[in-house]
């Protein structure tokens, strides 16, 4: 999450916006880029680009079948539920509602904040000169494993159909109050969870998983 600041944000990262484990900076980054060094910068960027784990303006989360399923299973196994960005150092057998960079019931992030405010008079020029190439095409910058699971207790919400034929009530909730299912990312406010795993070489490695349901 320390990358994709300008070119990523709401698209590349699916609006995901959580603070990394403090050890990420201390282990993987050079001098003057440690946790203590960038604490103020971290505070500033999260102030400039706010995060939320309940993007709907009425404060309610929609379509929580999948999260509740994960919550029940992980809690029964001794995992702890947290608010992810309140405790960024607690990433071992913990889970949370995934934080997103939403603001006012809409996608936020760089395009809605500092890019717009940097120089509004140059925005047409920026749009004209944006890179049209497939930047990063076929690039795999981290290891991902996708697992698809079906469960009878998780209901399907037809988001593709919502583009042209949305559920009327959901459409009205969003247009009038920026609330309801359409005020969330396309993959919903799902769960995110972390675990530390000690390898046979004595090195602790960190695993993260995120669930979404469609």
How distant, in Å, are the alpha carbons of 44, 131, 203 from that of 115? 15, 16, 40
Q: How far apart are the first and last CA of the chain?
A: 24
Give 153-208 pLDDT, tens digit per residue: 888 888 889 889 999 999 999 999 999 999 986 667 789 999 999 999 998 888 89
> Tens of pLDDT along 181-190?
999 866 677 8
When mean pLDDT is compared over 10-14, 71-75, 137-141, the highest value belongs to: 71-75
The CATH code of the domain at 22-210 is 3.30.410
Write the DSSP symbol of residue 16.
B
Provide the 3-class DSSP secondary structure of residue 198. strand
Measured CA to CA in angstroms, residue 195 lies from 25, 72, 101, 209 at distances of 18, 17, 24, 9
The per-residue pLDDT for range 111-129, each reduced to its tens digit, is 778 777 766 556 555 555 5
pLDDT, tens only, 97-116: 999 888 888 888 777 787 77
Beta bridge partners of residue 191, listed in sequence order:
97
């Amino acid at each position: 999450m320390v990358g994709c600041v300008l070119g990523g944000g709401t698209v590349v990262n699916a609006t995901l916006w959580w603070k990394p484990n403090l050890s990420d900076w201390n282990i993987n980054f050079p001098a003057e880029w440690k946790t203590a060094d960038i604490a103020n910068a971290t505070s500033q960027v999260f102030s400039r680009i706010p995060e939320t784990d309940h993007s709907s303006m009425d404060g309610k989360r929609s379509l929580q079948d999948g999260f509740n399923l994960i919550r029940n299973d992980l809690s029964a196994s001794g995992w702890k539920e947290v608010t992810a960005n309140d405790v960024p150092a607690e990433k071992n057998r913990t889970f949370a509602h995934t934080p997103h960079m939403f603001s006012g019931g809409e996608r936020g992030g760089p395009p809605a904040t500092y890019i717009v405010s940097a120089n509004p008079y140059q925005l047409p020029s920026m749009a004209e000169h944006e890179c049209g190439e497939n930047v990063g095409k076929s690039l795999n910058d981290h290891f991902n494993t996708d697992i698809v699971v079906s469960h009878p207790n998780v209901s399907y919400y037809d988001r593709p159909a919502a583009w042209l034929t949305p559920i009327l009530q959901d459409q009205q909730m969003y247009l009038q109050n920026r609330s309801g299912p359409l005020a969330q990312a396309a993959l919903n406010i799902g769960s995110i969870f972390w675990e530390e795993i000690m390898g046979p070489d004595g090195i602790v490695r960190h695993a993260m998983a995120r669930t979404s349901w469609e």
